[in-house]
Structure 1
Amino acid sequence: MAETYPWQAELWQQLAGRKQHAHAYLLHGPQGIGKRALAERLMALLLCQNPQGLQACGQCKSCMLLAAGSHPDNYVLEPEEADKAIKVDQVRDLVNFVVQTAQLGGRKVVLVEPAESMNINAANALLKSLEEPSGNTVLLLVSHQHSRLLPTIKSRCVQQACPLPGQAQSLQWLATALPDCDEQERLELLTLAAGSPLVAVSLQAQGVREQRATVVEGVKKLLKQQVSPSQLAESWNAIPLLLLFDWFCDWSSLVLRYQLTQDEEGLGLSDMRKVVQYLAQKSGQDKVLGIQDWILAQRQKVLAKANLNRVLLLEALLVSWSALPGQR
């Protein structure tokens, strides 16, 4: 059965304990908090022929088939390739599944993840099944970006927000998940993951703290004019573009916040505190707002998988960043 997490206990009681199940649920919240695992656990319970309280039994024919990945009444819809759209043809295949009779005589359960990756035609093709699923069918939609879903999709589901766990609970879980990191390292990873513990684990696996140290060192050299924007852009080849834009977006926000509040507690992670403070004191607020708008616009293009010239884009970012101080 899918692993679920300590911060989901209350949510699980609420979902699994329903006397009557809705025909469609939308589980939404930030990435990296275990929504897929929660959906898979609910799927197992809904398909189980002999549930034990709020748990699937794990022993019946249905549970065995699900564990083997060959349950005839279970359908998982996801992009054919990572980070691509779910296409209309895929949804049509799903609709054909929904109209069939359950082979084991119980429910049919569909899992769609991430729901926001359906293109407009695919989303529209799903609407009819969401409105009137035939037979005893339950659709479980998992979304990391709830705002990108069509209102017509949202309105046909029972919407269930899945909140971020608190910092203390996340750190407690990370102590077991990342035993080789010390507490300070785990806190840094959780901060870099915007509070999502599962993202923190994957960032550690990617070597993100080492990548961050490289970038921070480069930014400091850039501001001291010890390296040119083009040299630095070339040297960051191995670092994911989205990570770089996330960090620069965060740093520009911290600069603005410090300009407005002078609050030294709000300077972010220790590696960039002095730089953030320096830029806040030496840069004009309109310049900081301008670069932040530009970073956000470029970040959207990166997210949309636009065809970008990576080195030129980074060079433009670093030219603007190095020109911030002294322009009040």
Structure 2
Amino acid sequence: MVDCYPWQSALRAQLTSRGQHPHAYLFHGPAGVGKRAFADGLVAFLLCQRPQPPVACGQCKSCLLLAAGTHPDHYLLEPEEADKAIKVDQVRDLVGFVVQTAQLGGRKVVLLEPAEAMNLNAANALLKSLEEPSGNTHLILISHQPSRLLPTIRSRCVQQAFPLPEWGQALEWLGRRLPELDDECREVLLQLAAGSPLGAVRLHQQGGLALRAQVVEGLKKLHKQQITPSQLAEQWNALPLVLLFDWFCEWSLLVLRFQLTEDDLGLGPKDTAKVVRYLAQKSSSARVLAMQDWLLAQRQKVLAKANLNRVLLLETLLVQWASLPGPS
């Protein structure tokens, strides 16, 4: 039986105590808060033949089939390739499943993640199933970016928000999940993951602290003109592009925030606080805004796995970043 995270226990008790469930849920919130784990638990509970609220029994035929990945009344819809779109043909196959009779005589449950990966045709193809579900069918949509969904998709679902857990609760969980790290490292990881505990774990698994130290050191050398953008781009060629662009997007936002507020508490992580302050004081807001627009556009290309020249992209990034300080 899939368990939920500690910050989800109250919500699990609330949803599993319902006598009836809507035909469609939309679970939305930032990545890394455990929406998928919660959804898997609810799927198991809805399909279970002898549920024991707030969990499935884990022993009935339905639970055993689900655990084996062979439950005939469970349908999982995901992109065929990582970070690619969910296509209309995939949704049409799903619709075919929805109109069938449940083979075990109970509910049919569909899990779709991430919902924003549906292209326009796929989203439109899903609408009829959301409007008029067949039989005892429940659809659970998971979205990390609900603003990208069609309003007609959102309006046909019961929306359930999954916010970030409280900082102390997240740190307590990380203490159990990453006991090999000290408190300071766990806190830094959580800060770098924007409060997402699962994101902090993934970052640790990527060697995130060492990568961060390497990037920050290179950034400081760049601003001191101890290294050229082309040299630094070569050094960073093997680093994860998504991670790099996430950090640069965060730094540009922190620069803008400090320019508006001059609040030292808004400088972000300690390792780059001085750099953020320096850029905020020496750069024009117009130039930082233009930089942020460029970063967001390139980040989308990286996420879409566009055929990019990595070194050239990084060199362009670093040339623009190094030129932020100065007159408008």
Bin for the TM-score computed over the shorter chain: over 0.9
Deviation, 1:281, is 2.4
CA contact (8 A) 1:287 1:327 kept: no
Q: Is the 8 A contact 1:259 1:281 kept in 2?
A: yes
Q: What SS does the corresponding residue of 1:159 show, helix, strand or coil? A: strand
Aligned to 1:249: 249
1:234 pairs with 2:238? no
The residue aligned with 1:123 is 123
1:95 matched to 2:116? The reply is no
Structure 2: which 5+ runs fail to align?
Answer: none
Size of the aligned set, in residue pairs, is 328
Other-structure match for 2:208: 208
Secondary structure of 1:194 counterpart: coil
Q: Distance in 1 between matches of 2:307 and 2:141?
A: 30
1:255-270 maps to which residues of 2 (within 5 A)? 255-270=255-270
Q: How does 1:265-276 map to 2 (within 5 A)?
A: 265-276=265-276
RMSD: 1.4
Q: Which residue of 1 aligns with 2:185?
A: 185
**Structure 1 residues 211-267: Cα deviation after superposition (integer angstroms, max 9, x where no partner):** 111111111111111111111111101211121111112112222222232222221
Q: Which position in structure 2 is the counterpart of 1:63?
A: 63
Q: Does 1:114 align with 2:114?
A: yes
* Structure 1 residue aligned with 2:163: 163
Deviation at 1:284, TM superposition (A): 2.7
> Partner residue of 1:199?
199
On the 8 A contact 1:216/1:272 being kept in 2, the answer is yes
Following superposition, the deviation at residue 304 of structure 1 comes to: 3.3
SS at match of 2:10: helix
C-alpha distance in structure 2 between counterparts of 1:147 and 1:94, whole Å: 23
Task: List runs of 5+ in structure 1 lacking aligned partners.
Answer: none
The TM-score normalised by the length of structure 2 is: 0.96
AA partner of residue 66 (structure 1): L
Which SS does the other structure have where 1:67 is aligned?
helix
Q: Distance between the aligned counterparts of 2:258 and 2:55, measured in 1?
A: 49
Amino acid at match of 2:202: S
Q: Percent identity?
A: 72
1:302 is displaced (CA, Å) by: 2.4
> Scaled by the length of structure 1, what TM-score is found?
0.96
How far, CA to CA, are the matches of 1:191 and 1:272 in structure 2?
A: 12
CA distance, structure 2, for counterparts of residue 323 and residue 133 of structure 1: 56
Residue type matched to 2:189 in 1? L
Contact 1:242 1:302 in 2 (8 A): yes
8 Å CA contact retained: 1:26, 1:141: yes
1:72-128 per-residue CA deviation (whole Å, 9 max, x = no partner) reads 111111111111111111111111111111111111111111111111111111111
Matched residue, 1:299: 299
Q: In structure 1, what residue type is equivalent to 2:36?
A: R
8 Å CA contact 1:287–1:324 kept in 2: the answer is: yes
